[in-house]
Amino acid sequence: LARCVFLDPELTTGLPAGLTAATGLDALTHCIESFTSPVFHPLCDGIALEGIRLIIRALPTAIADGINLDARGH
């Protein structure tokens, strides 16, 4: 687990919509992979499900509106 994470959505506002979509789907895939892992851990499942929920809610907006910092921050 990472000790520290820096999340600055302003650094991503210049990304093309296609790259935003691809990286968002990659993050979604990681969440699904964690949730469907045969090694069960309730904390990991909770984090994965929350990630899926956030991505499903925010990714379409981040793709459509590249400068929406709220969507990009999720």
Residues 21-74 pLDDT 10s: 999 999 999 999 999 999 989 999 999 999 999 999 999 999 999 999 999 998
Answer whether residue 7 is part of any domain. Answer: no
Answer whether residue 48 is part of any domain. Answer: yes
**Number of domain units in the chain:** 1
For residue 40, the model assigns a pLDDT of 86
Residue span of the structural domain in which 26 resides: 16-72
Sorted by sequence, the CB contacts under 8 Å of residue 13 that are 6+ apart come out as 66, 67, 69, 72
Q: pTM for the whole thing?
A: 0.87
Answer whether residue 21 is part of any domain. Answer: yes
Answer whether residue 42 is part of any domain. Answer: yes
Answer whether residue 50 is part of any domain. Answer: yes
